[in-house]
């Protein structure tokens, strides 16, 4: 059975992810206390379900520390368990709550434990981060701070539909002017490479367009940089697998996230496809 466990910060897009998985045909269980995860999955497996999505968050839990062990137990029994951890910056979450005018789901519970004094929204968000900390290291992290809902849906679909593999390797392009994504495990800076932005014919295109691909592929520096990154990954990825890591995100950044980083990500993805479960994400363009 394939099990997609959706967790992360309230307001980071878990509802968007669960609805998308439901549309894909997954049997979805929302807001399940983590201590029941093993029992529920056993029951659904016995009743013939092959694709299950479960949303687990901090609303009903005093501690999520046991959950990583439950996930490993499910994997040991042969299930394809994928953990999707959605997060966002505190600033982005505050803005979303302000726009929706909703209370943070932990505010009332935290007030009961603090002499009845309700915490601020920021305090509730930070308390939730602490509660969810045990799940950070076992999940495939997506930072939704600046993502549109359609982009998140596309990434969740790719994550859920891709074939099983020991390691999920995500290549992600980003713009340095927007900041380094918090979901990155390894970051490579390609701003030193020739920039198609300064060619009027290429400025409005992206690293997915043939003229830009031709421009960058003709540069020995671009090819050498891509090769160096690939060799680094080939050398050190086995160490991540040996360390029982299931997800590694490699972020490639350039100034605007449109040309150089996109091209390098696409070239690296082609090289590693077939060896690992490869995902491709482009933060600054809308075609992925």
Select the more confidently predicted residue: 244 or 145: 145
pLDDT 10s digits, 59-93 = 766 667 788 889 999 999 999 999 999 999 999 99
Residue 115 pLDDT: 59
pLDDT at 288 over 50: no
Select the more confidently predicted residue: 107 or 47: 47
Report, as an integer, the average pLDDT of 130-148.
Answer: 87
Cβ neighbours around 216 below 10 Å, total: 26
Nearest alpha carbon to residue 37 among 59, 19, 52: 52
pLDDT band at 183 (very low <50, low <70, confident <90, very high): confident
pLDDT at 113 over 60: no
Select the more confidently predicted residue: 59 or 160: 160
DSSP collapsed to 3 states, 101-151: CCCCCCHHHHHHCCCCCCCCHHHHHHHHHHHHHHHHCCCEEEECCCCCHHH
Classify the phi-psi angles of 10: left when phi > 0, otherwise alpha if psi is within -120 to 50, otherwise beta: beta
Q: Residue 82: what are its φ and ψ, rounded to 5°? A: -125, 130
Q: Where are the beta strands (DSSP E) in 68-108?
A: 80-87
Contacts for 5 with CB less than 8 Å, ≥ 6 apart: 37, 53, 54, 56, 71, 81, 82, 83, 84, 139
**Domains, the chain, ranges and CATH?**
2-161 (3.40.50.300), 168-282 (no CATH)
CA angle 126, 128, 133 (to 5 degrees): 95
Report, as an integer, the average pLDDT of 213-240.
Answer: 96
Per-residue tokens: 214: 């031709």
pLDDT band at 234 (very low <50, low <70, confident <90, very high): very high
pLDDT 10s digits, 33-53 = 888 899 999 999 999 999 999
Rounded to the nearest integer, the mean pLDDT of the chain is 90
Report, as an integer, the average pLDDT of 180-208.
Answer: 95
Residue 194 pLDDT: 96
pLDDT at 287 over 50: no
Which range has the top average pLDDT, 23-37, 149-163, 230-244, 251-265? 251-265
Per-residue tokens: 160: 């859920």
Report, as an integer, the average pLDDT of 167-193.
Answer: 94
Q: CA 205 → CA 18, 22, 179, 265, distances in Å? A: 33, 35, 22, 16
Per-residue tokens: 88: 């966002």
Report, as an integer, the average pLDDT of 176-196.
Answer: 94
């Amino acid at each position: 059975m394939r099990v997609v466990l959706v967790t992360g910060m309230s307001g980071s897009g878990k509802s968007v992810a669960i609805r998308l998985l439901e549309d894909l045909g997954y049997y979805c269980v929302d807001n399940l206390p983590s201590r029941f995860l093993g029992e529920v999955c056993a029951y659904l497996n016995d009743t013939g379900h092959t694709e299950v999505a479960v949303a687990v968050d901090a609303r009903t839990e005093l501690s999520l520390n046991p959950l990583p062990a439950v996930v490993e137990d499910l994997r040991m029994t042969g299930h394809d368990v994928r953990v999707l951890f959605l997060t966002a910056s505190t600033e982005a979450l505050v803005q979303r709550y302000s726009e929706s005018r909703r209370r943070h789901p932990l505010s009332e519970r935290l007030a009961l434990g603090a002499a009845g004094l309700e915490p601020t929204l920021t305090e509730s968000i930070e308390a939730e981060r602490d509660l969810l900390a045990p799940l950070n290291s076992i999940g495939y992290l997506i930072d939704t701070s600046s993502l549109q809902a359609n982009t998140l849906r596309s990434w969740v679909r790719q994550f859920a539909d891709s074939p099983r593999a020991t390691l999920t390797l995500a290549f992600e392009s980003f713009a340095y002017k927007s900041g380094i994504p918090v979901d990155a495990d390894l970051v490579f800076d390609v701003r030193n490479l020739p920039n198609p932005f300064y060619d009027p014919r290429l400025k409005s295109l992206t690293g997915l367009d043939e003229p830009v691909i031709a421009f960058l592929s003709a540069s020995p520096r671009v090819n050498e940089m891509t090769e160096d990154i690939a060799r680094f990954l080939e050398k050190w990825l086995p160490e991540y697998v040996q360390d029982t890591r299931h997800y590694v995100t490699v972020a490639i950044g350039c100034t605007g996230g449109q040309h150089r980083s996109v091209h390098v990500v696409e070239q690296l993805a082609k090289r590693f496809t077939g060896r690992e479960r490869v995902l491709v994400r482009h933060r600054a363009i809308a075609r992925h």
